[in-house]
Amino acid sequence: MFRPRSRTLIALLLSIVAAISAAQTAGVMPRLVSAENTLTLQLFRAPTSTEPSSATGTVQVNLQSGQVRIELKQATPSSDYIALFATSATNIQLGTITTDSGGDGSSEATLGAGNYLGLFQITRGDILQFITADTSLTLTATSSLSVTGSASTTATSTQNSTSQTTTTSQITSTETSTNQTTTSAGPTRVQVDPSLRTISAGAFAKFNINIRANQTANVLLAARAVPPRSVAIFTQNLGVANPEFHSTLTIVTSADTPIGTYGITLIALVGGQEFDTQIGLEVTASSTTITSQTTSIAAGVGLSIALSTDQHSYDPNATVNLQGRVTDDSGSAVADAGVSVQVDGPTGAEIVFLSSLKTDAAGVFQVTFKLPASATGGTFTAFATATKGGFASATTHTTFVVGTSSTPSVVIKEVYATDMSATRTTTFSAGQTVLIWIVVENSGATFEGVIWVQIRDPNGTPIWIQFQISQLGTGQTVKIAFGFAITTNMKSGLYTANALVSDKLISQGGTFLASANTEFALTA
């Protein structure tokens, strides 16, 4: 695992030109109801199903006993079904279901303590008939439960020291509608509108996100279970709820994205707590002829890592909360990725080093540590590196100030795309001009910085770069825009805008201080 040893920016110009998702070979749009001690998942007809169109079903899991009850309604009359929980490694048999003359039937089974990651499947005649969304269950002796791929709200608390990492998860009581999650622990609310969209393969779908917190809180967004050969783009994925935070999730599909109905999990980390909300995307057959100009998302195996602090400045002896997320090239959260975090003081001395962190099912990791009472004032740098087998690793960093600093401490608070009317969007067509907006905050010493933007095409090739020299005073926030014209000969697909800040021109020996990316799609 890479362990950075200097404050020089490690290469951060990632080529995010692809969409990868092997997690689902068939998709469903689940609906979930959480009652006391009971989790209910909806069964939907699989793409291979030969069941009547009116057939439905549910899976109920008792959170205390691990008992599973499966019910089918209006399925094929007088037929035998096999129920199982399918994982990447094995299939757990849950018994058989025999329907009556009306097509109704049920069965019960019990799951023992342990970790379960997979989905419930019902087969008849060796053909997959019903399926749920991907679900991650942790059933222990105390019956705690962690759920992803559902509309349930999971509160996760993580505490770390330099010697060990302890993670605890528990399910909170929730009230759930088709597009809203509300935790009873406080009025924090995550809303997504609409809860379901239908598009043809090669098109894109937008979902509006509204988060309301009970107090000012940092927000970090990610997605899970993005359809194959598609990509998820947030506008914006980092920010502050004060008390509200607004964003848009755009799912850009390819002409070869498999048709089906997908359950995509929106993950919001709000003030250190995770909130999972389920949305549905139905992809139908494309009605247009596939040509070379059709939007295509190529496969990729890269990781992307984001890192932020809960504040930009601290006093000695204060507690620092670092949070981040790891995603793949499709924008989908990556679970169980290895993460190392190192924090260096103003002189380069190592303050914290953790090498055994793992992302949770939402791709999120958190680190909490206390600054020494004798901490030297100045700019501190936090580095994070993510690794996982089969993926290219990723590294990022952020800075924060303790007391006052004689050197810059720069954070790119936002980078996003708009049209010429300054309306945020992630989809453009030939002839339009894309405005790339960069918001930079400096909590350190005043300096004359260089703000850069670089555009990479769907092949990852740099095709355009611009910069602007700007005075960045202590405590100052600067917002600038760069205009990029789309010509008719440009290839359809996913483009990446790399935003960077350096302390001077690189040709003059400058050092990159901050980096962030955003993506936009050029559609036919």
pLDDT digits (tens, 9 = 90+) for 88-131: 667 788 989 999 999 999 999 888 877 777 788 899 988 888 88
Report angle CA 10, 15, 19 to the nearest 5 degrees: 135
The predicted pLDDT at position 504 comes to: 87
What is the dihedral sign for C-alpha 138, 238, 251, 174?
positive
- The residue with greater pLDDT, 100 or 239, is 100
Mean pLDDT check: name the lowest of 24-33, 116-125, 238-247, 438-447: 24-33
Q: What is the 3-state secondary structure (H, E, C) of 88-113?
A: CCCEEEEEEEECCCCCCEEEEEECCC
- Strands 38-45 and 273-284, by their bridges, are unpaired
Supply the DSSP string of 106-139, one letter for each residue. EEEEE--SEEEEEEEEEEETTEEEEE---EEEEE
The domain locations on the chain are: 38-142, 303-522
What gap in Å lies between CA 249 and CA 426, rounded to an integer? Answer: 9
- The residue with greater pLDDT, 277 or 181, is 277
What gap in Å lies between CA 479 and CA 472, rounded to an integer? Answer: 11
* Residue in 495, 483, 499 with CA at minimum distance from that of residue 523: 495
What gap in Å lies between CA 231 and CA 123, rounded to an integer? Answer: 30
Cα–Cα distance list, 136 to 58, 113, 141 (Å): 17, 13, 17
Average pLDDT of span 437-449: 91
Mean pLDDT check: name the lowest of 16-25, 46-55, 498-507: 16-25
Matching fold, domains 38-142 and 303-522: no
Q: Assess contact for 233 and 221: CB atoms under 8 A.
A: no
The CATH fold assigned to 303-522 is Immunoglobulin-like (2.60.40)
Which tokens belong to 14? 């990632």
What is the dihedral sign for C-alpha 20, 24, 25, 31?
negative
Cα–Cα distance list, 67 to 62, 81, 151, 431, 524 (Å): 5, 19, 21, 58, 50
508: three-class secondary structure by DSSP: helix
Residue 14 pLDDT grade (very low, low, confident, very high; cuts 50, 70, 90): very low
pLDDT of 230 higher than 70: yes
**What count of residues does the chain have?**
524
E strand intervals along 163-203: 165-171, 174-176, 180-183, 189-193, 196-200
Average pLDDT of span 20-38: 36
Mean pLDDT of the chain: 77
pLDDT digits (tens, 9 = 90+) for 354-365: 888 999 888 889
Q: Assess contact for 211 and 245: CB atoms under 8 A.
A: yes
pLDDT of 431 higher than 50: yes
Check residue 149 and report its DSSP letter.
Answer: S
The CATH fold assigned to 38-142 is S-adenosyl-L-methionine-dependent methyltransferases (2.20.130)
The predicted pLDDT at position 437 comes to: 93
Residue 144 pLDDT grade (very low, low, confident, very high; cuts 50, 70, 90): very low
Amino acid at 378: G
Which tokens belong to 296? 């295509």
What gap in Å lies between CA 158 and CA 356, rounded to an integer? Answer: 14
67: three-class secondary structure by DSSP: strand
* Residue in 83, 76, 37, 77 with CA at minimum distance from that of residue 59: 83
pLDDT digits (tens, 9 = 90+) for 152-184: 223 333 233 322 222 222 222 222 333 333 333
What gap in Å lies between CA 408 and CA 444, rounded to an integer? Answer: 4
Residues 6+ apart with CB under 8 A from 398: 307, 308, 309, 381, 382, 411, 514
The predicted pLDDT at position 235 comes to: 83
pLDDT digits (tens, 9 = 90+) for 386-423: 999 888 888 888 899 999 888 889 999 889 999 988 88
Asked if the peptide bond before residue 77 counts as cis, ω within 30 degrees of 0, the response is: no
Residue 232, sorted as left (phi over 0), alpha (psi -120 to 50) or beta, turns out to be beta
pLDDT digits (tens, 9 = 90+) for 252-268: 888 888 998 898 988 88
